[in-house]
Structure 1
Amino acid sequence: MRVLVIGASGYVGSRVVPAFLAAGCTVRAGARDPASLRRFWWHERVETAEVDVTDARTLPPSLEEVDVVVYLVHGMRSAHFRQVDPAAARQVRRAVDASSATRMVYVSGFVPAGDPGELSDHLRSRWEVEEELCRSSRPVTTLRAGIVLGSGSTSFEVLGQLGGRLPVTVVPGWLHTKVEPIAVVDLVAAVLGAVFSDLPTRSFDVGCGRALRYPDLLRLYGRITGMPRAQLTLPRIPSTVVGKVGSWVCDVPSATLTALIESLRHDMIARDARWRGSLVPATYRPSTVERALQRAVLPVDPAVPPEERDPMGPLPGDPDWAVAAAEARRYSARGIPPRRRRPPG
């Protein structure tokens, strides 16, 4: 089976590609700049393709002799992602319909119940992309996930950098919504299950099975990493202020951080656990939140080749701003408070 991974240079893509290789698939890694893939250890084991989802001309060549397409593109760094993302999905859907591909898999975000018009821009964009892709004549499996835990994940970095860099964590009064994380290794297992399935077009909520409030998740991170922080609740602080403070504290790109924070106004939890039994065996047990956080911050032995390391931990090719795991280990070992490294991008 030949799998085209669109967005292979992103965090989930960097963990999905080696899983497909291990499963015996031929992998075509698609990225806007194929040269950017050279930073990953698996680069020489895959086919590479220039895939710019905003440029329809790049799509037909990348889809030649492809069996399944995995779509992992989210344009939160652009100020116009609400317009760009659905348009890009439309071009991909049309190209897939004209290709040899027999299936698509899309990794999206949780879609809370209610009027889609009331969703944050981030979540509404992902819902609109899902709606567009599902117009395909090919079966489309959508995996809806919330916070993805693992060193290098944007949501893990936000959690770790917000939760570890200030002596007191300021919590807005509205930030008591529920979240249900998932370890990246479990999300990867769901992606593989979807690719090898013969299901009709369908969406699945994928989570760890435990929902907790975001302030409790911050406390749990502090306890596991040895960086407990007092929390101060400010009832009326607006999300725009939270975004600006977060941009000052975090190395995560500011546009991405703002979009993620706005989404935390919604409960981000799975409505069912149908993915277990449909995409993975019913006996599959996803990692607990505690275990996922522990694995994400474990020390890395540089003598171990990257292909043998735990994908929950840091790997070559992770973003330069992915520093939460290293800061947690440094603080835990020496009692040195983590510091911010650079201005927000």
Structure 2
Amino acid sequence: MRCVVFGATGYLGGRLVPELLRAGHTVRVLARTPGKLADTPWHDRVEIVRGDVTVADEVRAALQDQEVLYYLVHSLTRSDFDTVDRDAATIVAREAASAGLDRIVYLGGIAPAGQELSRHLSSRAEVGRILLGGTVPALVFQAAVVIGSGSASFEMLRYLTERLPAMVTPRWVRARIQPIAVRDVLYYLTRAAELPPAVRGAFDIGGPDVLTYEQMMRVYAEVAGLPRRVIVPVPVLTPWLSAQWVNLVTPVPRAIAVPLMESLVNDVVCGEHEIAAHIPDPGEGLTGVRRAVELALTRIRDLDVPTRWSDAGPAPADPLPTDPEWSGGSLYQDVRERPTTADPAALWTVIEAIGGENGWYSFPLAWSLRGWLDRLAGGAGLRRGRRDPHRLHEGEALDWWRVERIERPALLRLRAEMRVPGRAWLELEARPGNDGAGAIYRQRAVFEPHGLAGHLYWKSIAPFHALIFGGMTRNITGAAETAAGSLGGGPTRTGPWGRLHRPGRTSR
């Protein structure tokens, strides 16, 4: 099928495109800013058209010669989002009819009967009605919270649970919800392309579990390995006040938090499962909440995802370059780069020799003190050293680190085994210099905080990063330049804290 996706730079659209490609469909995408798609792993396999859903001529051009339209656009960040979405849906329904499309597929929200809907849910329901009212057969999926890294509703829950061991919350934490994993949403969306025209209408989709927001927070805490959260519902906090609080505690923008929080007062549970008559449940069954949360935590639990997501194409729960910066959970980083006149081989020699007797090239007293503190806390400290002064192997211990990955002669990744309230990694890279001259040293310290203590730990040591990590950057490149240019007369090796000496001589 020839499919066109409106909203490919958004959360679901960016994940749907590769699923459609895997299913054998051809894909065109409409984007107001095509440059946002430049780093996606599929950008060279689709046709990218610049356009805006509120401009009829641009919508008409994007729909030309297409069969199926996926409409995944929402203007939540605008104060007048309901007006904008209403006008856009009207234009799209009209132009889809003129273009002779076979089908429109839209994802909206569950609109519980007999309840006063929030402005957000009302707008989603209105867009669905506009598309269903057109002449093109429309399929409107209605879902509650989508669980996946990057989903705004899930990100709010993630940050609140991670950062607050105790919460005073509005009564909405007792509202019932039927969340759905992002991979199941994509399953339904992808298979909708080939349904016959007679299948049209609105269908609720949800996972197998019905629970409250409070229970969801507790499940998240268990899966993330956090202590049991204390949650105290009170009647005085309105959704609007809650949104201001969320804006302070989490990085989710206020413009998104306010309408979403206003929607939490509604019970959003599937009223039917009639979609199963047209799209059967996945062979392995729909994904439960616990498993969906585990998949959503992949970004942090597999450090390869944010650093090398393009190698094999991301899974639905993985982050994408098009996701907002606040999505994906807390992952603090200190990244530094420095050019050096040494060639990449000389730089790599210094990198692979780091640690043990050769030291860590920065503020030895601080490293030594941190090692002793770690030993007092029952950790590894610096006493483990290294087995070989020049060569490392994946899986071996290196002081309080573990060698997690080596891509010789370019990348060394270490995973910390010190006692910290979270998990930490240190990456050291040697890259060819610009125009083939010299090399570029790149250093990245990554920390995944574990609860509130983890956030406080990172913030407490942040003032020392310039001294410790900045010193490492300068001294490692300096050692590489010295090794490459100023020492002769035989092999050299790095001595403690980055000094260089020849075998048989004592470093001082």
Name 1:268's counterpart in structure 2: 268
1:63 deviation in Å? 0.7
Quick one: which of 444, 449, 454 aligns to 1:336? 454
Name 2:158's counterpart in structure 1: 160
1:261 deviation in Å? 0.6
Name 1:213's counterpart in structure 2: 212
Larger Rg: 2
Give the TM-score taking structure 2 as reference length: 0.63
Conserved in 2, the CA contact under 8 Å of 1:109 and 1:126? yes
Alpha-carbon spacing, 1:35–1:304, altered in 2? closer, same or farther (3 Å):
closer
1:312 deviation in Å? 1.1
Cα-Cα RMSD? 2.3
Name 2:123's counterpart in structure 1: 125
Name 2:60's counterpart in structure 1: 60
Quick one: which of 315, 318, 321 aligns to 1:313? 318
Give the paired residue count.
339
Alpha-carbon distance in 2 for matches of 1:55, 1:303: 37
Conserved in 2, the CA contact under 8 Å of 1:174 and 1:265? yes
Secondary structure, counterpart of 2:87 in structure 1: helix
Quick one: which of 166, 179, 202 aligns to 2:177? 179
Name 1:230's counterpart in structure 2: 230
Q: Does 1:110 align with 2:115?
A: no
User: Which consecutive unaligned segments of at least 5 residues does structure 1 have?
Assistant: none
The code of the aligned residue for 1:87 comes to D
1:183 deviation in Å? 0.7
1:1-345 alignment, distance < 5 Å: 1-114=1-114, 118-198=116-196, 199-228=198-227, 229-281=229-281, 283=283, 285-298=285-298, 299-300=301-302, 301=304, 302=307, 305-324=310-329, 326=331, 330-332=448-450, 336-337=454-455
1:169 deviation in Å? 2.0
The code of the aligned residue for 1:317 comes to T
Alpha-carbon distance in 2 for matches of 1:80, 1:212: 32
Alpha-carbon distance in 2 for matches of 1:38, 1:19: 18
Conserved in 2, the CA contact under 8 Å of 1:85 and 1:125? yes
Larger RCO (CA within 8 A; separation ≥ 6): 1
Give the TM-score taking structure 1 as reference length: 0.92
Conserved in 1, the CA contact under 8 Å of 2:163 and 2:452? no
Conserved in 1, the CA contact under 8 Å of 2:146 and 2:179? yes
Q: Deviations over 1:242-280 (max 9, x none)?
A: 010011112112111111110011001111222234223
The code of the aligned residue for 1:3 comes to C
Decide which structure has greater strand share.
Answer: 2
> Matched residues, percent identical?
35
Alpha-carbon distance in 1 for matches of 2:451, 2:234: 32
Secondary structure, counterpart of 2:232 in structure 1: strand
Secondary structure, counterpart of 1:232 in structure 2: strand
Q: Deviations over 1:84-132 (max 9, x none)?
A: 11111000000000003110000000010126xx210000001110111
Alpha-carbon distance in 2 for matches of 1:201, 1:314: 32
The code of the aligned residue for 1:319 comes to P
Alpha-carbon spacing, 1:245–1:149, altered in 2? closer, same or farther (3 Å):
same
Alpha-carbon distance in 2 for matches of 1:339, 1:113: 47
Secondary structure, counterpart of 1:309 in structure 2: coil
Conserved in 1, the CA contact under 8 Å of 2:60 and 2:95? yes
Alpha-carbon distance in 1 for matches of 2:449, 2:84: 40
The code of the aligned residue for 2:47 comes to E
